Structure 1
Amino acid sequence: MIITDTHIHLYSEAFDEDRNEVIQRAFSYGVERFFIPAIDSSYTQAMYNLENSYPKNVFLMTGLHPTHVKEDYLDELRHVEQTLLSRSFYAIGEIGIDLYWDKTYLKEQRMAFKTQIQLAKKYDLPIVIHCREAFEEIFEVLEEEKDDKLFGIFHCFTGTKEQAERAIGFNMKLGIGGVVTFKNGKIDTFLKKIDLSHIVLETDAPYLAPVPHRGKRNEAGYILNVLNKLADVYELDINTIAEVTTRNSKEVFGI
């Protein structure tokens, strides 16, 4: 059984004391592939170092995270373009709009999102979307950019059934992580109505640890809690969930 974590920040400072132990624990549970989203240029070298240490298991993205869209966002977007010219990546992400923390840079977030979608199309790459309190804003940009070259993953999906179907309509898979185990998460109430072919697994570690680890640092091995929850939701065995979601991830990322 191969389990794929389609979204994990393994380069995060939260893992500086025990990163290798966290990865080895994940291996022991069958988690063999880690897709690594970018945040901004300050983390680029750490991402490269991680890839060098685990070249068969770590798959990198490039991009500018919406919460890091500030006054220097044009410089950061140039950095994204330069990385794309210098080497290959598996996606552009995580990108999108976040209105939870700060609405100051909404215009710039929107512009950065749109620009990076266009870069993804240019390089035939999927996008990995970050959306927090911004579904309508995200969908508005996706509607403007919708065509045969637009595809990817709606990371950490927390919306309604209608929003899930709308995201799928833009050729997005739904990234399902720890939120599906939360009592107030609600997505488990309709997820069975979404075909498993549209689902990929993720942790978003070190964030959003699933029950029973909620409130603690998340790690790759905790994806088993997400896997078990989805097995309950879909009334399928965990091997089937792992197999289908891994196949879905390979389809998106082209591996």
Structure 2
Amino acid sequence: MNNCFWTDIGVNLTDSSFDKDRHEVIEQALTDGINKLIITGTTLQDSLDAIQLCQRYPKQLFCTVGIHPHYAKDHSAADFAELNSLTKETGVVALGETGLDFNRNLSTAAQQILSFVSQLEIASTHKLPLFLHERDAHKKQLEILKSHRDDFTHAVAHCFTGSKQELYNYLDLDLHIGITGWICDERRGLELQKLVKEIPSNRLMLETDAPYLLPRDLKPKPKSRRNIPSHLPHIAAVVATLVDKTLEELNHDVQKTTLDFFNIND
């Protein structure tokens, strides 16, 4: 594993669970072969904080800027104007995390849709890829993506956990698919374990979604139950087995896809 270098396309480094050891977590990841981390922006403030982190690690850290559907209700037109300006900051490589979440409904459907479409338009204007969230909202999200597909360049369905039909709906739109430690879950991840081999190699990317989604089969499990980017090689090893590739073969394919998608080739 030490011969492979990986990119974690989704890590929530601005989360408060990293407040006491954020830089230690970053340094550990770099030591463990995760040589690029893409920090997820979920609010305007998170996005600003992510940009500041990127400035401290200009060749290793990149970020998305966006407003998660949970927080759509908290943002005004002025905030979206500021988000638009943040896309020009060094280190910003995608727009998101954006999309729809009709599971928890922490913002109304109308608020989420307005926020999603606003961010689609920003991404389209600046030719930035999209970092997408979706939960229990596939039909509506697909409808919106289809209606804007000629406008945005490309997008990744972050933390994909859906059905075979949902997977092919996204692939038919030429979307990329992000796989997390969900695939290591012997309870909830069984369908994803079967589906992952159907994702074309030029559409597959890997992420931890740290501090969330600690792989259930990780041994020993950390006492904190907190996920960290250093667990990405473990997820990669599980995926490699499922798609019948060596770890080196998977690494080659995933890294090429990821660096091209985010336009961060050295």
TM-score by length of 1: 0.93
> What runs of 5+ residues in structure 2 fail to find an aligned partner?
none
Relative to 1, partners in 2 of residues 1:192 and 1:176: Cα closer, same or farther, differing over 3 Å?
Answer: same
**Superposition deviation, residue 87 in structure 1:** 5.5
What amino acid sits opposite 1:125 in the alignment?
L
Relative to 1, partners in 2 of residues 1:144 and 1:62: Cα closer, same or farther, differing over 3 Å?
Answer: same
- Pick from 106, 113, 124 the counterpart of residue 116 of structure 2: 113
Relative to 1, partners in 2 of residues 1:73 and 1:168: Cα closer, same or farther, differing over 3 Å?
Answer: farther
Please name the residue that 2:258 is paired with: 249
Whether the aligned pair in 2 keeps the contact of 1:92 and 1:127 (CA below 8 Å) is yes
- Pick from 48, 62, 67 the counterpart of residue 65 of structure 2: 62
Percent identical residues: 26
User: After superposition, where does 1:66-81 map in structure 2 within 5 Å?
Assistant: 66-81=69-84
Give the secondary-structure state (helix, strand or coil) at the position aligned to 2:131: strand
TM-score by length of 2: 0.90
- Matched positions, count: 255
> What runs of 5+ residues in structure 1 fail to find an aligned partner?
none
Relative to 1, partners in 2 of residues 1:113 and 1:45: Cα closer, same or farther, differing over 3 Å?
Answer: closer
Give the secondary-structure state (helix, strand or coil) at the position aligned to 1:69: helix
Q: In the aligned structure 2, how far is the partner of 1:34 from the partner of 1:212? A: 23
Relative to 1, partners in 2 of residues 1:201 and 1:71: Cα closer, same or farther, differing over 3 Å?
Answer: closer
Please name the residue that 1:47 is paired with: 50
What amino acid sits opposite 2:33 in the alignment?
G
Please name the residue that 1:37 is paired with: 40
In the alignment, structure 1 residue 23 sits paired with structure 2 residue 32: no
Whether the aligned pair in 2 keeps the contact of 1:66 and 1:95 (CA below 8 Å) is yes
Q: In the aligned structure 1, how far is the partner of 2:213 from the partner of 2:98? A: 18
Relative to 1, partners in 2 of residues 1:86 and 1:57: Cα closer, same or farther, differing over 3 Å?
Answer: closer
User: After superposition, where does 1:162-181 map in structure 2 within 5 Å?
Assistant: 162-181=165-184
Write the deviation string for residues 172-206 of structure 1: whole angstroms up to 9, x where unpaired: 11000111111222211122122222100001111
Write the deviation string for residues 13-35 of structure 1: whole angstroms up to 9, x where unpaired: 11111112212221222100111
**Superposition deviation, residue 151 in structure 1:** 1.0
Please name the residue that 2:225 is paired with: 216
Runs of 4+ in 1 over 6 A off after TM superposition: none
Please name the residue that 2:100 is paired with: 97
Worse-matched range after superposition: 213-222 or 166-175: 213-222
Please name the residue that 2:211 is paired with: 206
What amino acid sits opposite 2:249 in the alignment?
T
- Pick from 189, 192, 195 the counterpart of residue 187 of structure 1: 192
